[in-house]
Structure 1
Amino acid sequence: MAIIFLRPSLLSARSQLPPPSRTMFVLSALFLDYPPPTLINYGKAFTAASWDKGTHVAKIRGVRDYLSDGQRVREHDLVLVVDGYDIWFQLPPAVLLHNYQTTLRAANDRLLRKYGTATRSAANQPRIQRYTQSVIWGADKICWPNSAQDPACASVPSSTLPFNVYGKNTDKDDESFLNTPKYLNSGAVLGTAASLLRIYTEAFDRVENHGLDGYGDQYVFAALFEDLRVRQIARRIRRFFPPNVMNSAWV
């Protein structure tokens, strides 16, 4: 896996990258004036008994440990984590940052309209937006490695792209090439260091303490996203139905 910090200058990539892929990943970043690379887990050998020899757990742990280092990373630094196996950069950092900010503004506007505001704990304080977003994950056209029936697949929101973005066969393609991307892909994520640290810390806790060490990192992050969606949906239901009408098992 690869990570990029845009402030301060930092880029990290997974240590097991084959030389050609690693070279093109790093060169495309440097040519477009991204920060110099820092390799996470570089030179480490992974020999665990699991199907992936422990590499996916190491990806989560490596990112978490680096983000935890207050000497290198500040909580408001913007961090880009990308998969160095199959990522080449085509757009410069300024365009990436502009798209990130534009996407977040639109997402937070949708969250405000959908879930409203909440009262602060202190008295006489203005209400604040109930949910805000500071992290953007890559979007995939298929839900993988989870099965299509998995709640992590079924609970994802619809894509914000036009319903016919690929023409009349949008979302009707058995090969998925014409599907709108809406499933979480852990191969790319951009957000503040503080937000990503919380996510990676929770993901590592799931791996260590909830029996997910044999699953890939994408499965773990999809499960976290599912939990968030369930909580949001439950809260929205409570806004429209009084408690005595609702079955408590719903929430």
Structure 2
Amino acid sequence: MPADAPHLNLCKAIMSAVALGYPPPTLLNWSGEFNRPEWHLAGSHIAKMESLLAAIEHLLSQAGDAGGASEHDLAVMVDAYDIWFQLPPSVLVERFHQLNREADDRVRRQWQAAQGLAADFPVPPPRQSIVVTSAKDCHPKRDSGSDAHYAHWPASPMPSDLYGDGTDRVLPLLFDPARKYRKMRPRCVNSGLVMGTMGAMRDALRRCKAKIEGVARSGRQLWSDQALLGEVIGDQEMWREWMRGLGATWNGTASENDMSGLSREVRDVAEAALRGDGFEFGIGLDYNFTTIPPTCSAEEDGFFVRINDKAALRNESIRAGVPGAVRVQGIPRELQRLGRDDDDAAAAAAANDALSNVSWGDVPLYTDLYFGTTPVGIHHNAYINGLKPWRIRNWWNMTWFHPHLRSLVSRRLVPRGDAPARPLARLAPRADGARELVYWAPEDDHGSKQVTVFAPSSAGAPAGGTFSPIDWDGVCQRGPTPWHEELFGDGQAPLELK
């Protein structure tokens, strides 16, 4: 989580994750590391990417050691002050893999359609290994100085009538910049969540760093991390467009590389690729709104519902303006499987886990009524009419876990000692031959569970850095009211671990 100072909103983001079984996060950019005072927003948005790269490179350099990481491990970066988790890590991991499989199928069909009978084109269709949340509004625009070249991005794979009549039509609301995009199917980047394998994230972030350095030399500014990611993904999509064109002319030995028909921006990417630059990073979007989608331009699209309450689902769908039948079709299958495992040891551990006994259909879960999905979390970036601070303040006690928060957090934070480790996620073998995958928390999560702050090595020093623990007062306390009173709202004493 990129965070530079303590705040109750940061505390809510972290506690929602910890309560559900996520390892306590590492804070990046704490106290303003990497800031560029002369840049927009003091460069803090760009610093998110720089500090994430430094942390990943440091962890990968320790591969094989305690506390190190493998290129196949997963890294998740989420905004720190306006995101809440509501579903456990096993759901996020399973959806990550599902999104990647769906993306791989789409890209493979694109490759095949472009190549026709030329099945032996030597550049295989790319595989996705990084997921970024998507948005309805393509922001920032070109007038910011950044250009993601959205004209070259794929169309949304979601139904063309997702929002009924007028889907994908910008509404003529001159004085409402958020709601005018309400009927757009999301196909633009939002950087609220970026998730991928450590190796893929490292490579993509190195490309981001190269762009930052190039921008700094030219005197231009990158508006935000979102703009930076958009540029990297835009270059990737233009490279793919060029590759599909080459595949279409492949004769078994060579392709016709006639660039005269390419747009100027695609030609620039092609020429750079021929000089050796890499543009494929396996980055794709969460088009389905299953991870932690933004609520900007979707202010009325979702609400807290009990999935088993059919009447309430119908009423909320009507209120949101969903055309036709209710789209929420029961408890997500990832939740139905939670706590059920063929492995006896894992099943026994899961049976003792507080979440294994949650009746997911009977607790309030924020659900997008248009997509019919219950996302892993909520990104409170709905800014019109002061919605963002109001919801962060007034929706907290509407979450399913709030009445049990103190108990859930206390249970998660107690060191397990000699107790067997419990997998974060277990993905069963699939019919296509994919083997079973098991994901575990970092080794140090088995002992003292604390939020850490990553401090990169000073400029000019060898790559590396340090991870230092920070206590809950250091993360949560800001202002005169004790943070635990506002967070738990149960009138009890400060957090005690037993």
SS of the residue corresponding to residue 84 of structure 2 reads coil
Write the letter of the residue equivalent to 1:60.
M
For residues 45 and 257 of structure 2, the distance between their equivalents in structure 1, rounded to whole angstroms, comes to 45
SS of the residue corresponding to residue 66 of structure 1 reads helix
Residue 147 of structure 1 contacts residue 153 of structure 1 at CA under 8 Å; is this kept in 2? no
For residues 63 and 191 of structure 1, the distance between their equivalents in structure 2, rounded to whole angstroms, comes to 12
1:197 matched to which residue of 2?
Answer: 202
State the Cα distance separating 1:54 from its structure 2 match. Answer: 2.1
User: What is the Cα-based RMSD across aligned positions, in Å?
Assistant: 2.4
Q: Which moved more, 1:43-52 or 1:218-227?
A: 43-52
* Alignment CA distance shift 1:152-1:245 (3 Å): closer
Report the identity percentage. 29
Tell me the TM-score normalised to structure 2 length. 0.43
Write the letter of the residue equivalent to 1:134.
S
SS of the residue corresponding to residue 68 of structure 1 reads helix
SS of the residue corresponding to residue 48 of structure 1 reads coil
Write the letter of the residue equivalent to 1:42.
W
Residue 146 of structure 1 contacts residue 153 of structure 1 at CA under 8 Å; is this kept in 2? no
State the Cα distance separating 1:177 from its structure 2 match. Answer: 1.5
Q: Which moved more, 1:70-79 or 1:191-200?
A: 70-79
State the Cα distance separating 1:85 from its structure 2 match. Answer: 2.4
SS of the residue corresponding to residue 47 of structure 2 reads helix
The answer to whether structure 1 residue 68 and structure 2 residue 57 are counterparts is yes
State the Cα distance separating 1:19 from its structure 2 match. Answer: 0.7
Structure 2, unpaired ranges of 5+ = 63-67, 113-121, 172-179, 250-254, 268-498
Residue 78 of structure 1 contacts residue 193 of structure 1 at CA under 8 Å; is this kept in 2? yes
For residues 244 and 142 of structure 1, the distance between their equivalents in structure 2, rounded to whole angstroms, comes to 35
1:8 matched to which residue of 2?
Answer: none
Deviations 1:213-236 (A, max 9, x none): 443111111111111111111111
2:138 matched to which residue of 1?
Answer: 143
1:180 matched to which residue of 2?
Answer: 185
Deviations 1:40-84 (A, max 9, x none): 122336461222112123211100100001223321111111111
Residue 67 of structure 1 contacts residue 193 of structure 1 at CA under 8 Å; is this kept in 2? yes
Deviations 1:189-215 (A, max 9, x none): 111011011111110111112345443
SS of the residue corresponding to residue 192 of structure 2 reads strand
* Alignment CA distance shift 1:53-1:244 (3 Å): closer
SS of the residue corresponding to residue 53 of structure 1 reads helix
For residues 139 and 159 of structure 1, the distance between their equivalents in structure 2, rounded to whole angstroms, comes to 10
State the Cα distance separating 1:15 from its structure 2 match. Answer: 1.9
Which of 25, 29, 35 aligns to 2:13? It is 25
State the Cα distance separating 1:187 from its structure 2 match. Answer: 1.9
SS of the residue corresponding to residue 31 of structure 2 reads coil
2:4 matched to which residue of 1?
Answer: 15
State the Cα distance separating 1:249 from its structure 2 match. Answer: 5.0
1:106 matched to which residue of 2?
Answer: 102
State the Cα distance separating 1:131 from its structure 2 match. Answer: 1.1
Residue 246 of structure 2 contacts residue 257 of structure 2 at CA under 8 Å; is this kept in 1? no
The answer to whether structure 1 residue 56 and structure 2 residue 45 are counterparts is yes
Write the letter of the residue equivalent to 1:143.
C
Deviations 1:59-115 (A, max 9, x none): 111001000012233211111111112211122111111111111111112222222
State the Cα distance separating 1:133 from its structure 2 match. Answer: 0.9
For residues 50 and 163 of structure 2, the distance between their equivalents in structure 1, rounded to whole angstroms, comes to 38
State the Cα distance separating 1:244 from its structure 2 match. Answer: 7.6
For residues 151 and 217 of structure 1, the distance between their equivalents in structure 2, rounded to whole angstroms, comes to 12
Residue 146 of structure 1 contacts residue 152 of structure 1 at CA under 8 Å; is this kept in 2? no
The answer to whether structure 1 residue 156 and structure 2 residue 153 are counterparts is yes
Which of 122, 129, 132 aligns to 2:124? It is 129
* Alignment CA distance shift 1:244-1:50 (3 Å): closer
State the Cα distance separating 1:246 from its structure 2 match. Answer: 5.8
> Counterparts in 2 of 1:186-225, with a 5 A limit?
186-211=191-216, 212-225=220-233
For residues 165 and 136 of structure 2, the distance between their equivalents in structure 1, rounded to whole angstroms, comes to 17
2:32 matched to which residue of 1?
Answer: 44
Residue 134 of structure 1 contacts residue 191 of structure 1 at CA under 8 Å; is this kept in 2? yes
Aligned length: 229
Tell me the TM-score normalised to structure 1 length. 0.82
> Bigger radius of gyration, 1 or 2?
2
State the Cα distance separating 1:159 from its structure 2 match. Answer: 0.9
1:233 matched to which residue of 2?
Answer: 241
State the Cα distance separating 1:145 from its structure 2 match. Answer: 0.7
State the Cα distance separating 1:130 from its structure 2 match. Answer: 3.2
Which of 92, 96, 100 aligns to 2:92? It is 96
SS of the residue corresponding to residue 142 of structure 2 reads coil
1:78 matched to which residue of 2?
Answer: 74
Residue 13 of structure 2 contacts residue 83 of structure 2 at CA under 8 Å; is this kept in 1? yes
Write the letter of the residue equivalent to 1:30.
V
For residues 195 and 185 of structure 1, the distance between their equivalents in structure 2, rounded to whole angstroms, comes to 18
* Alignment CA distance shift 1:244-1:155 (3 Å): closer
* Alignment CA distance shift 1:50-1:234 (3 Å): same
For residues 28 and 147 of structure 2, the distance between their equivalents in structure 1, rounded to whole angstroms, comes to 31
Residue 161 of structure 1 contacts residue 180 of structure 1 at CA under 8 Å; is this kept in 2? yes
